[in-house]
Structure 1
C-alpha cells in the first residue's frame, strides 16, 4: 500500500524502481492510478468490459515502455497520454460499427460521414490537440486537463484548485471556444476524441 505522502505525489524513487523493472513498484503504481484511469476510460467507452480491457492494455504499454520515461515528475501525464491514445485508437476502430454510431447519436455528438472519418490522421489530430492545449493559459489548461483527461467533476476541480465552480465553468467555456476556433468544422470530431461530449 502507498503511504499518505505517496497518495499525494508519487515518490521519485518509486518511479525509478518501476523503470528498473521492480514489480512491487509497479503494483503500487497500479493500485494508485487504476481507479482514476478506470473512471477516465469508462467515461469514454461506456462499457465495463471494454474499460477493463483498455486499462489492462494501458498498464501493459506503460510497463513495456517504462525505460522511455525520463522525467519522473511527469509520470501521471505520461500515463494519461498513453491512456488517451489507446482509447482514441479503440474508439476510431469502432466508428464504422452501426452500434457505435447509435451510441454517438445517444450522446448528441454529430459525427461526419464515414469516409471523412476514415481519412482522419489520428497522429496529426493528437499532435495538434496537445500543441493547442499547451498554448492555453496555465490555469485554463490545468482545468481542461483535469476535466477531460482525469475526469474530475467541476466541483472536484474547484475544491482541488481552491477556485469557484463558476470559475471552472468559465475556464472550460474559454478552452472549448479556443479549440473550436482553431479546428473549425472538424471540431465535433475532435470532441469525439477528447471526451465524446461537451
Structure 2
C-alpha cells in the first residue's frame, strides 16, 4: 500500500493490517513488558488469531473512519506504531497515541511518525483539535507531546487504573492553527 520514509535511518511508517498478525505478535512478544508499563496495548494479542483480531478491529475502525493503526518499521522490522485512537471528522477532533518496543526508543521515531499523522489529519481531513493522553509517570510519552508543541490542558487525577495503581492522566492538545504556525516556523523537533 504505502510506505512513508521517516528519515534517512531506514525508518518507515506503513499501514498495520490484519495480514501482519504474525509480525505484530512477534513485535509484541519482544516488547510486551515495556509496552504495557502504562498501557495494555495489544495485551489481548497472545497468539496469531488474537493478534489478527486486534489488527482487524483497527482495520474496521479505519473503514468506519473512526480510528486507524500505523506501524513503524526500522530496517524492515516492526518496532512500534502510532494510531488514531479516536477520529471524529464530523467534530474535527481526534486522539493520537503510540507504542514502541525497546529497540525503537531514543530515535525520535514516534515524533517523526506523529508529524505525518498530524499533518494528514490537519491538512487533509480538516481536524481542528488533536489530543494526546498519557499517564503522568509516562515521561517518554509526555516528552513526545512536548516535542510536538502540544499544550498541557490538564490532569485527571487517579483516572486510569492499571496494574493495581490508579494513575493520573495528562491531557495535551494542539489546535490546527498552532500546528500550522509551528510547522511554518520549523519549531517541531524530532527528539
Is TM > 0.5 for Structure 1 vs Structure 2? no
Give the structure with the higher percent strand: 2
Query: TM-score, length-normalised on structure 2?
Result: 0.28
